[in-house]
Structures are given as structure tokens and as C-alpha cells.
Structure 1
């Protein structure tokens, strides 16, 4: 299996549902909100996360928020973190993972 994978499969919300639910997602996940979820995709720039309790939301934890020397979480890993931004043009919730925050301290 390749180390990188785009989010695919029945657990990934359809793009049209993500787009249609964007306002609801932003309201449910304000900046600072705590989130948990499963890593559903990995790319060199970060990991995509399906957020528990918000079925039509996709989060992205980018490597720009990851401390040097750390590895991206594997597919299927359950992670937690905090929302730090909303990217309206591609309907993504940006998340900083707890494990990355702890490594910075």
C-alpha cells in the first residue's frame, strides 16, 4: 500500500453534501472547538479527518502545524485536536492535532 492516499470509501462524505452543509459545519465547529475523528486520507501536505458527530464535515491537519521530526498519523488512526480555521473555498475545517501541540510544549 502506498504511504499516501486520498479519502475514499463509504465513510467519506460526498462533496456535494460537504458543500451544502458548510454553514452548519462552521456553526457546529467554531474556532477553538475540540474535535475527534478518524484519519481517512494522507497526503504529503497533511491528513484528512472524518469528524465524529459532524457527518458532512472534513477536517485537514496540515504539516505546517506539525512539529519537525514528527510523522503523519496513519490511515485509520483516531486523533483529537482543536479547530483553528475554516477554509470556505474548499469547505475544510483546519485542525491542529493534540499530539502536535504536546510536542511543541
Structure 2
């Protein structure tokens, strides 16, 4: 069983496509890569992001990285950040959002 609730919408790539494209995703988005994307799902634990330029990649920004008092970005919001971990088990690109980094400094 997955440790998260996977979003389902027309904007979210199918789980099968994400899994089959994982090697290409890892090659395109090594740790430290800057990303831009769109929020495609909000969950109690964070947001899922459709990453621009990598159609079958699914990003996740978790609330554990969000400063206290901040709100999750809205559904459909444009976000930017940095890849900080590639989660091979769940085929997710873990992202630290720029707006969360600015608050920590």
C-alpha cells in the first residue's frame, strides 16, 4: 500500500506512466534542479505538482518543509522550487518550494 493518497485528475499523469517514465524523470531532474510547475492536488500533508517540461513527473512538496503559519499554495497555482530528493519507492520528485525557503532565512 502507498504511504500517500495519490491525486487523480486529468492533469495528473497516470500511475503507470509515472512508473514507466521514472528513469527519464531521474535523468531530467537530478537533486538540485530548479523546477516550475502547477499545483494539481492539495492534501493534508502537502501539495502535488505537475512539473513543467517533464510530462510524466509528479512532484510533492510536503508540509514538513513549510514554515509555521504559511498556507499551502492554491490548486492551480504556479510554484517554483528545487528538487531535494528522488523517491524511487513512490516515483515522486520531492520539492522544496522557493516561497518556503524565503521564510526560513
1:88 counterpart residue number: 88
Question: Which moves more between the two structures, 93-102 or 8-17?
Answer: 8-17
Report the Cα distance in structure 1 between the residues aligned to 2:7 and 2:53, rounded to whole angstroms: 18
Cα deviation for residue 70 of structure 1 reads: 0.5
C-alpha root-mean-square deviation of aligned residues, in Å? 1.3
Q: Does residue 1:41 correspond to 2:34, yes or no?
A: no
Say which SS state the counterpart of residue 103 (structure 1) adopts: helix
Q: Which runs of 4+ in 1 moved over 6 A?
A: none
Q: How does 1:1-105 map to 2 (within 5 A)?
A: 7-105=7-105
* Aligned residues between the structures: 101
Counterpart of 1:85 in 2: which secondary structure? strand
Q: Is the 8 A contact 1:34 1:81 kept in 2?
A: yes
Once the two structures are superposed, what CA deviation does each residue of 1:60-89 show, in whole Å capped at 9, x if it has no partner?
000111111111001000000000001111
Residues 77 and 6 of structure 1, relative CA distance in 2, 3 Å threshold:
farther
Q: Normalization by structure 1: what TM-score?
A: 0.92
Instruction: Provide the C-alpha distance between the structure 2 equivalents of 1:13 and 1:103, rounded to a whole number of angstroms.
Output: 31
In the alignment, the residues of structure 2 paired with residue 68 and residue 99 of structure 1 have an alpha-carbon distance, to the nearest angstrom, of 13
Which TM-score applies when normalising by structure 2?
0.92
Whole-angstrom distance in 1 between the partners of 2:81 and 2:7: 19
